[in-house]
Amino acid sequence: MAQTEHPQWDQVMVDIADYVLHTPIDSELAYETARYCLFDTLGCGLAALDFPACTKLLGPIVPGTTVPNGARVPGTDYQLDPVKAAFDIGATVRWLDFNDTWLAAEWGHPSDNLGGILAVTDWLSRQAGEHGRPGPLMREVLTAMIQAHEIQGCLALENAFNRVGLDHVILVKIASTAVVSRLLGLDRSQLLNALSLAWVDGQSLRTYRHAPDTGSRKSWAAGDATSRAVQFALMASKGEMGYPRALTAPTWGFYDVHFRGQRLRFQRPYGSYVMENILFKISWPAEFHAQTAVECAMAIHDQLRDMGRSAADIARITLRTHEACLRIIDKQGPLTNPADRDHCVQYMVAVPLLFGRLTAEDYEDDVAADPRIDALRARITCVEDATFTADYLDPEKRSIANALSVELHDGTRLPEVVCEYPLGHRRRRAEGLPLLEAKFRNHLARRFNESQQERILQACADPARLDNMPVREYMDLYTTLPTP
C-alpha cells in the first residue's frame, strides 16, 4: 500500500536552495573571474550570429511578435519573453563551443546558465524601468553567475551523468532553476518546488553528442535547458506544486529511473570554488579535452615549417591523452557535419598541422572537403596515459594533458610535445587573460561599429561602473544594431 504521509524534501534540493538564498559570496577573485566570464560568454554569442544554422533558431516563436519590456538578445533587435530569450542567448553562447568549461567526473559549460540569468534580469530591469526603478544591477548578474557555476560544477565533481547516458545540460537546468528562482524573488518553498520540477523533467540523452549520431542539437541543448529553468521558476512563482522526493522516490524518482539507483555524491560544500577555477577557451573553438592537443599541433606545425617540411611529410602521429578524451572525442571514419568535427580530436589535430590554425569556419563543409584532413586523421593513433587521467581527476591539479609524437616518412622522429595545462587554466591566468580580452575585442568587431565597440569596452573596463549599471542599460549596449 502506498504511503501518504507528506515526505521530507530531498537533502540535495535543500542544500541548493539554502545556498542560493543564504550563502554570501565574499570572494573578490570569484567576482573578477565572473566579469571576464561575462564578457567572454557574450562575445562567443556574438560570433555565433555569423552562422545561419544558429540564427534560424532565434527570434519569437510567432514571427513578428514583440513582447513589451521583453528581454533582449545580444547582437539582434529581438525583444522576447524571458523563456524564449533564455533559449536564444543560451543557444548563441554555446553554438561555437568556445565558452568556458568545467571538467570533472562530468563536464560542461557553466556559462550556459547566462541565458536564463540575463533573460530574467533584463526583463525584470525593463519592468522596473517602466516605474522609475533601477531594478536588477549587473552585480546581481555576477552573483547569480557565481552561484550557477558553483551548483553545476559541484554536482559535476563526483557524478558522471554521461556514464548513464544523460547529457550534462541537466546540470544547466538545475543550476539555472535555482538562481533564476532567487532572482525572481521566490521564497524557499517556491524555490524548492521549482527545483523539483527540474529534477522530474525528462532529461536529455547524449545521443546527439556521439558518432554516428552527432548533430546540431548539442549546440542548442544548453539553451533549451536554461530556458526550461526559466519556465519552471515562473510556474513555481504562481504556486505550482513541487515534489519533495524527486530524486529519492523508490522506482519513480531520478535515482532509480535515471541514475541506476546511485545517490549523488559531493566533494565540497557550495561556495565560489568553481568560478575561481573555471577554464576559459581562449585560442581555439575546440572541445576542451582537445585544447592542449591543438596547442601541441600548432607547435609541431611551426617546427615543421622551420625545418622546411609540412604535414605531407608525416607518416604517423601518436596522441598520448587522458581517458575522458578517448571516451568523448576519439573518432574514426566519416564525419558528417560541423557538430561531428568539433568533437573529433583527430580532426582538431589534423587541421592545425596542415594549416597552422583552427577556427569555427574550419569545421564547415568546404574546409572539411579537403582530402588531406581525413588522410592525416587516419595516421593519428590515440593512447591513454594513466598519469594524465589521474592528474585530470586530481582536484589539486585539474590538468587536461595531451602529448603529440610525430614520425616522418624518412624515419625522422620529432621530439614529443607535451602540454598539461591549456591557456584558459587557472595556472596560466596571467598569460591567458590578455588573450581573452583580445578574443572579446575580436568578437565585438565582427558585429558592431567602432563607436559601439568603444561604449561596450568602457563599461567592461570599470568594475565599479559595471556593478552598479542596471541590467537593461548594459544589455542595450549589445542589442542596438550597428549603423550599416
* Whole-number Å distance between alpha carbons of 435 and 429: 10
Angle at 428 between CA 423 and CA 430, to 5 degrees: 110
The candidate with the shortest Cα–Cα distance to 247, out of 233, 227, 261, is 261
Q: Record the pTM.
A: 0.89
Angle at 158 between CA 319 and CA 44, to 5 degrees: 60
* Whole-number Å distance between alpha carbons of 204 and 201: 9
Encode the chain (484 residues) as per-residue pLDDT tens digits.
Answer: 455 566 899 999 999 999 999 999 999 999 999 999 999 999 999 999 999 999 999 999 999 998 999 999 999 999 999 999 999 999 999 999 999 999 889 999 999 999 999 999 999 999 999 999 989 999 999 999 999 999 999 999 999 999 999 999 999 999 999 999 999 999 999 999 999 999 999 999 999 998 889 999 999 999 999 999 999 999 999 999 999 999 999 999 999 999 999 999 999 999 999 999 999 999 888 888 999 999 999 999 999 999 999 999 999 999 999 999 999 899 999 999 999 999 999 999 999 999 999 999 999 999 999 999 999 999 999 999 999 999 998 888 889 999 999 999 999 999 999 999 998 898 999 999 999 999 999 999 999 999 999 999 999 999 999 999 999 999 999 986 544 3
229 and 180 Cβ atoms separated by less than 8 Å: yes
